[in-house]
Every structure is written in C-alpha cells, then in structure tokens.
Chains A and B, each alone.
Chain A
C-alpha cells in the first residue's frame, strides 16, 4: 500500500487534531474492547453474525485514525494497537458508510459502556470530519444546504410557511366559528414564542393547528416567528458545529428580536436537544430567555387548570416511544408519561423504555439517507417487536423523526398501528368551553376533477370514496402511462401520484407533467408509502409539487390537503 495520502485525507487528519476535546480523547483512549456494548445496539441484534455493526468495531474505525496520529503508543508502534491512518478517498467512503449508514447516534451503547465511552459523540465528530471534506450521503448534503441557504431543513419558503399558518388559522376559525382564534406571527413581547419542525409546515400542518388550538384555549400570549422558526438542526446529524451554531443562533435571535420570554419547542427529539442543549455550545451564545418542550407546556396548562381534557376522547390503547435525543440526552422521560395518563384511557408501557429504549431507526438523520433504507428497515425489527408486544393500536412519540421512522417500520412490518404525537392527543381530548357549533359539513369539492394514480387497488378505492363523498369527480389510473394519458384527455384540476408504479414511476410522470405546457398548470400531490424516495421528486429541475403526503393517509388529512392545494376553504368556498 502506498503511503501517499489524498488531499481529503490530509484535511481530515488536520481537522482531527483540532476536534479532539478532553471528553472525546477519554472516549477514544478508554475502550478496552470488552464487547459489553455489542448486544445493546439494534443494528447488531437485527444482524447477528455481522461484526461490522458492533458499536466498538464502528468506533474503532475512528479510533484507529486517532491512535495513528495522536495516541502515544499508536504513533510509535501502530501495529501493536492496530492504529491505521487514512490514505485514500475510498477509505473515506468506507468510513462514511459506517458512521452515517450503520449508526443512528442513538447513544444506547454509550449508556451501556462500563468505561463511559460516549461513542455517539465521537461518531458525530467523525461525521463532521467527513462533511468538512464533502464526503456524506447525498440527502445529508441537500438538507444541510437547505438549512444554510433557506433557513430551514426542508426548504420551506417564507411565503409558503406564512400561507400554511394562514390556512391553519382559517381552518380553526371555521371549525369553531370563532374569528378570535389566531396564529399570531411576529407579535412582540409575548410570553411564548413557538418554534416548530418544518415537517409540520410541509407535511403535517395539523400539528400546528392542534398546538394553536391548545395555546388559544389556554389563553396563552404567544406568537410564531416569520424567520428563525425552525428549531431542528441538521448540525446535530452531520457533525458540523458551524451549521449547528448558525441554525441555533437564528432560532435564538428570532426570540430575542421579538422580546419573547420563553421559547417553546414543539415535539421533536433532535430539535429539542439541538435548541435546548447543544445549540448554545455550538453557537457560543448565552440566552436571556427560557426554553422548554411543548410537552412540558401542555402538562403545565392542564395542571394549572388553563385547559381541561377529557381522556375518554382517546379510548384506544396507546404506547409511548421515547425519542433517543429526548430520553438519553435531555432527560425528558416522565413528563410525556404524566401527560399521556391525563389524556388517554389506556396507556401501556413499551419495554425497555425511557433511557434504555431502542431507537426507532429513523434517528441521526437516517430518514434523509435513502441509500441506507434497506439496512435501516432490517434493523427496525427490534423496534417492531417492541411495538407488537404492547398490543397498542397507537404509538405516541414526541419526535418528528420518530414519527417518520415508526411509520415506515409499521408499514414495512405490517403492524396494525398508527403513529401520533402528544399534541394531537391533547388537542383531541381538549374540552372546549362553550364550543361553538362547527360549520355544517358540506360537499366541499363539487366541481373539481381529481385524477388518482396508484397501483394499489385498496388505496384507489379508499381515496375515491372519500373524495367522491366530498363531491369531487374522480378518475382512476393504475400506472404511470395510464395517468399521463388520462391527464391529457381529462385535464383534471389535481393529480395525486404514487411514486412507485408500474410503467413510468411517479417521478417520471411528475416531470413530464411539469414540462408539458398543456399540463403544467395541473396541481400535483405526491402520496407515497416510500418517503425515502422523496428526493426523486424534489431533486428534479422543475417546480416542486403543490402537496406531499405519506401513506397511510387518514380521510380528514386527505381532504384538508386537497382543500389547501385547490385553494378551497373549510366551508367549500374558494379562498
């Protein structure tokens, strides 16, 4: 082997010296290769016999480099401690495969190490070293770029964000026939500035509406910021402290500019950890306001009698999945349980739980790394078995990554369960004083023609029933080619596209639609059971789709999104 080192490897080694703190040094030196961490990792348990998933084996990939360049013995007698430097870009790719593709930084091995070796922390450091020379999964690069450039990790534009808030406000006002319900934006001197995960604005606006409902009925003096509203932070996942600091500062400064007294962070494990804990360290910034999880806020509202809840409204058996970041890095384990017991009839623990819980497998940015999806889903068998054992019909979690990770594994392992968040359950259990009669249900989609393209007969049957019940004219296509032919013939107002279909897939159909001058005005909503294929749509050089939904889709969610895309108000009037 030649000892000539690539430029990227040179840079990685140069930065390694700067990145090693005393804590990391201890963790890199202290491992005695006892193997106690081995069967504490979900990847190992799901892949018996494959040593490459073993936490200490993965950690050794960086440890060898550290030994070769920093450790005393390793520098003089490398072979004796298996020290090994990096020389080629292929070796960097191998390291990438390990630190991004075989570890979710869940920290379960760290709390199981008798020596206190914090493998998750230096795995993050290894990611950062690779990112600094441009070696990372493509999805990670895309998301990090969006967070640097647009200010949120899903590239939600300001006008779209504000439009979504407006839409949710109108929905709430219409639902309660109460124009005083507001989603305040950039209101100064509020007690609470509410920050969210951009996934809520893009794919799950119902959670924003639910939170707004709770704030409203609790009489909270609150607002959202039009800038710096994203509390998620891809710096945690890609190991880039600069990005981490910049994103966190943006969020803190938004609260400071509005002179908010408290920053409330919606349910998101990594967002809570990044904003509440790590962000101040990365951004080297002290703040003069308090920060808390929305879980704690909701619990306090109930305890203080600001809102009343009726747990009989949530009668189904539910279980709770602890997000790794909340449980193992922020100690947020008891409040969600207390809240669940207040708003649900039948809460069942999942074992093991709290800090010993297993990862949902969607953590550490795994949901954005589609190249590792098969191994992620394979390792999810551990979580799937945990879920199944509870017998619950709903799994509740306080993390958006976990929502996606759990939804994915539930679909993959065909579990009869759904995923929800505490905010949805609290909103559902809310006892609204003198609730005004909601607007009568009307057929809101009369006069709209909707083409449904999906190769699953059950899905087509369900969607068409829901949409026809709401007055829409529905046309069905079972593959991509048929969808295109029908689109040309029928000129629908909206097309829903499954991504994985026979013939032309959803991505190809979408691009053709957008590039065809006769069809480009048709609104498109992607409805897929494979969220990892999301980038096949958003990476295309055409205008993004007007909507995006993950299967399974509830009828209410489907109608809400059709309304939004078509610009129809809750009462069926054109907005």
Chain B
C-alpha cells in the first residue's frame, strides 16, 4: 500500500509540474519575449531610416512598394535567386526545418488549450513525420556547420547552440506530439520547458532573425523597387534546367 501511495503522489506532483510548464510557464516566457521584442523593435526604430531623394529609375512597371512586397515574399520564390535556384535540395531542407519549427511553436499553444485539434492519429503521425524531418535536417545542418570549413569559419557559439537547441526541441516535440501524459510525460515536460527556455533565449540569439527579416527585406526591396531592379524578371536563360544541378560546382558541400 505504501508503494502504491508513493507512486500516486509522484503522479500528482508530476502532473502539477506539467500543468505549470504548459500553462503559466509559457505565459511568463511569452510575456517576457513580447516585452523584450517590444524594446527591441523600439531600439531598431530609434535608428534613422535613410531617405531616397532621386526620381525612380529602371523598369517603369515597378515602384518602391512593389519592390518591397516582392522582397518580403521572395523567400517563397526559390526561382528568384540563383542561391536558392541552384540548390533546390538545400532550399527544400530550409523549408522543412522552418515549417517544423513554426509547427512546433503552434503545437505548444494547441496542446494545453485545444488538445482535441491534434487528437487524430493521422494528424499526430503527420506532425511526427514533420518533426522527424525537421530534426534530421537540423542534425544535417549541425554537421555541415561543424564539417564545412566555410560555415565553420563564420559560426559563433550562438550559431551552434541555437541550432542544437532547436534540434533537441524538435526531438522532444516528436515524442510529445501524441500528448499522452501517462506515457510521454517526460517528453511533454521536456518539450514545454525547452519551449519556455527557447522563448526566453530567442530575443538574445540569432533565432530572432525573423524580427529583422521584415526590416531588411522591406528596405532592400523598397530601394531596389524604386530603382526598377525588383521584382527581378524571370530569366530562364540564366539557369537552363539541364545544367541546374551541375553547372556550378558546390564550393561548400550544399
């Protein structure tokens, strides 16, 4: 009887911890992140934006606004840049990894508040497949960062740590996806604690690149749109399909 009582107490304690991790802890972490981001955006806006005085140049069918919008979305157009066009497999990895990360963030909100949305075994399997692929891509990227002399030369401790953090987090997401606390409590706890840590850490790390993305892309697009460069015309001659995978020898093992 004593043994049974001890297990029961332990389960109750663990459940309370999980309950805290998936609710209050997340709210605290999210609030912290939002607060830091508020200050960060204010900080970005405290720098003066350059002004363009000249009349538009180049293609008359475009303008600053069109250029900015094109620039914001050209990451979704892998044909628009030689760097993505010449490395379609690398681009695919990029897509999988980012979708997996975004899905995992969404799952951290869905699990505690709308668990019924991911109760179907099919959805769970789809999520797990995505997280597994994201995990594999992450491991691949980590290896690339260590092995490729090019990428190693530019990598900082933050680069390694941020990537490793996401890889581990995706592994926990994979195991937590079934949301069965009887079986996967350890993974759920790990997943939510990692999510919270992630939220606390992100504003200070390279992972916050998505905050800067709209700024860099908007301003670059605005300038190049005003000057008639963006949107870049689709120029199939530059990359005939026949030589797409062979023309430029990869210099860093993409």
**A residues lining the B interface (CB < 8 Å):** 20-23, 25-27, 29-40, 44-45, 48-49, 51, 54, 56-57, 60, 72-73, 79-82, 110-118, 276-281, 284-286, 290-291, 327-334, 349, 351-356
Contact = CB atoms under 8 A, between A and B. Distances in A.
Given A30-B216, A330-B57, A57 B49 contact: no
Contacts of A25: 44, 47, 215
Given A33-B151, A49-B149, A81-B156, A353 B238 contact: yes
Interface string B38-81: 00100111011111111101110000000000010001000001
A114 B40 CA distance: 22
B122 interface: no
Contacts of B235: 352-354, 356
A272 to B, nearest CB: 9
Given A331-B227, A353-B235, A116 B71 contact: yes
A22 B82 CA distance: 27
Given A330-B57, A331-B227, A353-B238, A51 B149 contact: yes
B59 A33 contact: no
Contact of A332 (B58, B82, B155, B204): B58
Nearest to A329: B227
B209 A32 contact: yes
A116 B238 contact: no
Interface residues of B, number: 65
Nearest to A48: B251
Given A82-B156, A334-B59, A117 B216 contact: yes
Contacts of A354: 232-233, 235, 238
Contacts of B54: 276-281
B251 A23 contact: no
B121 interface: no
Contact of A330 (B50, B149, B229, B248): B229
B212 A349 contact: no
B228 A330 contact: yes
A29 B212 contact: yes
Contacts of A80: 156-158
Contacts of A331: 57-59, 224, 227-229
Contacts of B250: 39
Interface string B87-118: 10010001000000000000000000000000
Contacts of A285: 53
Nearest to A45: B251
Contacts of A349: 237
Contacts of A356: 82, 232, 235, 238
B53 A355 contact: no
A73 B48 CA distance: 21
Interface string B183-205: 00000000000000000000011
A114 B229 CA distance: 16
B49 A22 contact: yes
B193 to A, nearest CB: 21
A188 to B, nearest CB: 24
A199 B212 CA distance: 42
